[in-house]
Amino acid sequence: MSIYEWIVVNAYLIKYIAAVVAFVVFYYLSKIVAKQVSRLKIEAKPETIHNIERATRIAVIFVGILVALSIAGVDLGGLIVAAGFAGLVVGLAAQQTLSNLFAGLVLLIEGRIKVGDAVKINNEWGMVESVGIMSTQIRLWSGEILTLPNSTILASPIYNYSRSVARRVDIKIGISYRSDIDKAIEVIKTVLWNNELVLAEPEPVIIVDSLAESSVDLKILFWVPAQEFWTVRKVVIRDLKKALESVGIEIPLPQRVVWLREVSKATT
């Protein structure tokens, strides 16, 4: 074997060894990356987290294969074109699926919603049952399970009430025009201050909201601990009705005054 042939053989050998080394490096790198993914604070089912880890490993290993082939001198131009064309076809065919997949990854990594959160999404109220790769399940307050595609959730406003320390309660109540407004406001303040779950800060606000057909409408705004929102709201409404009626302030039913005019017939 000539020196030239020996150099050529060794050059090919070095390239192949370098390619194998590159692949091994990426293989072990895939394990490290997958382990880091598993350590992310993602609240999801164990099988969901396992699927994310596996998908991450496969992606890193695939990149390692491409790097190893490139080092070995394999022309990747045609392969990349073919893979790009195949990816385009698959992407068009599974556009909605991929959209849900990436949206699910964003939801899991960012933690916008978690299992057990009380949420409002697309005017649907309920508690998050599960956050998956493709869809999210919400148990509505009426008991049904609503399954929403993750792409829909990501594109919608998400109201997460479990993240709030306190929530504001808005109540509108009407009193008759004959009732004393100042007295009604004092009674309402007393009811609020007597409820230990109504927060002193921010201070409750009571305003005359409108002059309706049958009543003077008062708007009551006060803050409560987020987890006690519905309990306090229903108790305060009950106590307001009792307190106002006990001091003679009427909460009127819808009514309308009709004036009748007698029209005399013309005599001939």
- Judge if pTM exceeds 0.75: no
CA–CA gap between residue 164 and residue 166 (Å, rounded): 5
Range with the poorest average pLDDT among 22-26, 172-176, 260-264: 260-264
CA–CA gap between residue 60 and residue 64 (Å, rounded): 6
Residue 263 CA neighbour count, 13 Å, CB half: 2
- What band does 264 get if pLDDT is binned at 50, 70 and 90? low
- What band does 37 get if pLDDT is binned at 50, 70 and 90? low
Calculate Rg over the CA atoms of the chain: 34
CA–CA gap between residue 143 and residue 124 (Å, rounded): 12
Burial status of residue 143 (CB atoms within 10 A of its CB: 0-12, 13-18, 19 or more):
exposed
Question: CB-based contacts of 248: which residues, under 8 Å, 6+ apart?
Answer: 179
Q: Which of 97, 96, 104, 102 is nearest to 150 (CA)?
A: 104
Question: CB-based contacts of 204: which residues, under 8 Å, 6+ apart?
Answer: 189, 192, 198, 220, 221, 222, 223
pLDDT given for residue 29 in this prediction? 77
Residue 93 clears pLDDT 50, i.e. is over it? no
Question: What average pLDDT score do residues 118-131 get?
Answer: 86
Whose tokens are 């960012």? That residue is 110
Domains and CATH numbers, the chain: 3-93 (1.10.287), 112-162 (2.30.30.60), 164-246 (3.30.70.100)
Give 112's DSSP letter.
S
Residue 30 clears pLDDT 50, i.e. is over it? yes
Contact 173, 240 (CB under 8 A): yes
- Tokens found for residue 243: 């307190």
Percent of the chain with pLDDT over 90: 24
Taking each helix axis as running N to C, give the angle between helix 95-110 and helix 77-93, from 0 to 180 degrees, rounded to the nearest 10. 90
